[in-house]
Amino acid sequence: MTLETFPQLLSQHARERGDSAAMREKEYGIWQTLTWAHLAQLVEQIACGLHQAGLRRGEHMVVLGANRPRLYATMLAAQSLGAIPVPLYQDAAAAECVFPINNAEVRFAFAEDQEQIDKLLEIRPQCPQLAQLYFDDPRGLRKYDEPGLASLDELIAAGQVFAQQHPRFIEAEVARGQADEPAAMFFTSGTTGTPKGVVHTHASLLDRARAGAEFDKLTAEEEVLAYLPPAWIGQNIFSYAQWLACGYVVNCPESAATVTIDLKEIGPTYYFAPPRVFEGLLTSVMIRMEDAGAIKRGMFHACMDLARRVGPQLRDGKSVGLIDRLKYALGDLLVYGPLRNNLGFSRVRVAYTAGEAIGPDLFTFYRAIGINLKQLYGSTETAVFVCMQPDHEVKADTVGVPCRGVEIQVADNGEILVRSSGLLREYYKNPEATAEVKTADGWYRTGDAGFLDAQGHLKIIDRAKDVGALANGAMFAPKYIENKLKFFPHIKEAVALGDKRDKVCAMINIDFDAVGNWAEKRNLPYAGYPDLAGKPEVYELIRDCVEKVNADLAADERLAGSQIHRFLVLHKELDADDGELTRTNKVRRGFIADKYGVLIDALYGGKTEQFIETQVKFEDGRTGKVSADLKITDAKTFQPMKAAA
């Protein structure tokens, strides 16, 4: 049988290496192992149960929850029947699930626990076709009495009986699967409007999964930690598509709170995270360093100065002087090795970051301490793998070379066009949007602006729609500026403003943990985020960060005009629940421009203070308001290096 679909690959693993570990899940502090044979049996039972309940080929089934073996098994069970799993973000508000469920005409849903079931029950009146709801964790659900609500255990028990009565049923259904059939649907983050359902086939997902595996020589010996939302295609490719293509082990952490501990226990060999995760890890390192004694702190900074100078060269196999090599080896013994171990990266063979641009300084930090961190370029529509960085050809300011089966063109307006076997089939029920991004001859319009350098590496400048110009014609690339700001552990998020204006201004979110730790060391009292963010001492701390970024920008001939002239520190954290970020933590610029228009006017109007009142949504679903008089501060700018020379 040709292995064209995910269930067919599962069957092969179960036949050839049934006793090998397929997944591990940490439960009550203990890692539990699920073999390929047991997984295949579980998938068969769930699939038989779903068939009995009425799930049919071509239908969609929502899965809502964190990474769990039984969630993955449910996705495989749906695919075994020719149905199409639709993973949704588990932290999405109930209202955000209405459009995907109605758009995909979903009748069947898998929910991890009571929290997710409550969301589905809340929106059921708006989604009347939602008939069958299955939950994995029964805690808190014992007394629920809703039509079509049942535990996954009940579904498995019914499926077990059906499988005994029809022992070849699932085998026959799996054999019917074709490579060009839809395998999954992923909804975009809706940065600029209504989310779109991206339809991928088994062929498109497996082609890109295999291309990535070939590029980095992945084997069944890899260990992966699955901790990001399954609804994000990045996590789905690394812990589902490549997992089934390669047969390695996927490890599911106990909870979001235990991820850093679980990371150290597993010691993954293949790791993937968006820049925000690497930013958070670096912030935790810097906080711990502030708590350290003067000798340890001095040793750390001295070793890091050396690492930034020679570490990336050593990683890339370049020549380094003997003295520096010996010093680095000593630093590895005293600082870099223990630091990698503390982060859980001691065994990492290859690590990737993607999802958005990573700041060059942040990227260099990890490579400097001996972690083979690389960048890749792709999107939901391209099944992730478009460009990847080969070992020993890693540049902080590029995203690598096109991987196997990818063609790239740069349009006259600087937009990157991609053609590969991994492109989306379509946007579900949206032929107009599909026609906008896919040309008649098979090119996908990425919406990103960039160019190929002399070595064939792709350099991304920004989203094409976000790249603008100042009033004097100088280039303005907001994401580039924001990433430079976010390298500092005290800055969590930033929004740069300046398109068609005479200067660049910025709105900044402090990192509450990092700045809180900094304030406590200085005996600076504060009563929550708004109070801390408004402290004059905090403004001076952030001003120092902004001016360092300006000094850096002054050295870049193209972006010297984009130095930040004025800034403010926001009184609240930008939040996906408040509509300011997408579920993948991308800034929704248009929404923010409308919501904070009064602050933008104050920044450009020369004001030194502005009152604002903002509605916020609390974790329990209640809404409230926060208000503050925000201080607006000028920052020092520098003469461009070329002009100074």
Mapped to the 3 state alphabet, what secondary structure does 129-161 carry? CCCEEEECCCCCCCCCCCCCEEEHHHHHHHHHH
Q: Per-residue confidence at 1, pLDDT binned at 50, 70, 90?
A: very low
Residue 333 falls within a domain, yes or no?
A: no
Cα separation, 378 vs 382, whole angstroms: 6
| Span 567-576, pLDDT tens digits | 999 999 999 8
Strands of the sheet with 108-111, listed across from one edge: 84-88, 60-64, 108-111, 132-135, 149-151
SS3 of 565, please? strand
Q: Say if residue 459 is in the same domain as residue 590.
A: no
Of 395, 380, 278, 292, the closest CA to residue 335 belongs to 292
Query: What pLDDT does residue 620 have?
Result: 66
The mean-pLDDT minimum among 96-110, 149-163, 191-205, 508-522 falls in 191-205
Q: Say if residue 14 is in the same domain as residue 74.
A: yes
Q: How many independent structural domains does the chain possess? A: 3
CATH of the domain at 435: 2.30.38.10
| CB-CB contact of 45 with 159 (8 Å) | yes
Q: Bigger pLDDT: 190 or 224?
A: 224
Q: Per-residue confidence at 2, pLDDT binned at 50, 70, 90?
A: low
Place of tokens 């995203």: 399
Q: Say if residue 503 is in the same domain as residue 579.
A: yes
Count of beta carbons in the 10 Å neighbourhood of residue 371: 22
Q: Which domain holds residue 598?
A: 468-644
Query: What pLDDT does residue 645 have?
Result: 39
Beta-bridge partner residues of 587: 581
Q: Say if residue 430 is in the same domain as residue 479.
A: no
| Span 97-116, pLDDT tens digits | 999 999 999 999 999 999 99
| CB-CB contact of 165 with 393 (8 Å) | no
- pLDDT > 90 in the chain, percent: 75
Region 313-329 average pLDDT: 91
- pLDDT > 70 in the chain, percent: 98
Q: Per-residue confidence at 190, pLDDT binned at 50, 70, 90?
A: low
SS3 of 427, please? strand
Q: Say if residue 42 is in the same domain as residue 116.
A: yes
CATH of the domain at 22: 3.40.50.12780
SS3 of 71, please? helix
Residue 498 falls within a domain, yes or no?
A: yes
Residue 569 falls within a domain, yes or no?
A: yes
Residue 509, pLDDT above cutoff 70: yes
CB burial of 478-496 (b: ≥16 within 10 Å; e: otherwise) equals bbbbbbbbbbbbbbbbbbb
| CB-CB contact of 518 with 290 (8 Å) | yes
Query: What pLDDT does residue 249 have?
Result: 98
Q: Say if residue 10 is in the same domain as residue 156.
A: yes
Q: Per-residue confidence at 642, pLDDT binned at 50, 70, 90?
A: low
SS3 of 467, please? coil
Q: Say if residue 448 is in the same domain as residue 480.
A: no
| Span 245-291, pLDDT tens digits | 999 999 999 998 899 899 999 999 999 998 888 988 888 888 888 78
Q: What is the token pair recorded at 65?
A: 């929850």
- What letter would DSSP give residue 546? H
SS3 of 230, please? coil
Q: Say if residue 106 is in the same domain as residue 120.
A: yes
pTM of the model: 0.83
Residue type, 216: D
Residue 124 falls within a domain, yes or no?
A: yes
| CB-CB contact of 350 with 372 (8 Å) | yes
Domain end position, chosen among 418, 435, 463: 463
Domain end position, chosen among 226, 241, 273: 273
Beta-bridge partner residues of 375: 353
Of 382, 7, 5, the closest CA to residue 180 belongs to 5
Cα separation, 626 vs 63, whole angstroms: 35
| Span 448-474, pLDDT tens digits | 888 888 889 998 877 777 788 899 988
Residue 399 falls within a domain, yes or no?
A: yes
Cα separation, 167 vs 638, whole angstroms: 75
| CB-CB contact of 220 with 247 (8 Å) | yes
The mean-pLDDT minimum among 188-202, 344-358, 631-645 falls in 631-645
| Span 84-99, pLDDT tens digits | 999 999 999 899 999 9
| Span 538-562, pLDDT tens digits | 999 999 999 999 999 998 887 889 9
CA-based end-to-end distance of the chain: 69
| Span 157-169, pLDDT tens digits | 999 999 999 999 9
Backbone angles phi, psi at 465, to 5 degrees: -75, -20
Q: Say if residue 433 is in the same domain as residue 530.
A: no
Residue 637 falls within a domain, yes or no?
A: yes
Rounded to the nearest integer, the mean pLDDT of the chain is: 92
Residue 361, pLDDT above cutoff 90: no
Q: Say if residue 529 is in the same domain as residue 419.
A: no
Backbone angles phi, psi at 22, to 5 degrees: -105, -45
Residue 641, pLDDT above cutoff 80: no
Query: What pLDDT does residue 127 have?
Result: 96
CA distances from 529 to 186, 387, 534 (A): 35, 40, 9
Domain end position, chosen among 241, 273, 305: 273
Q: Say if residue 129 is in the same domain as residue 143.
A: yes
Query: What pLDDT does residue 594 have?
Result: 92
CATH of the domain at 639: 3.30.300.30
Of 580, 617, 577, 622, the closest CA to residue 91 belongs to 577
Cα separation, 205 vs 85, whole angstroms: 14
Q: Say if residue 507 is in the same domain as residue 416.
A: no
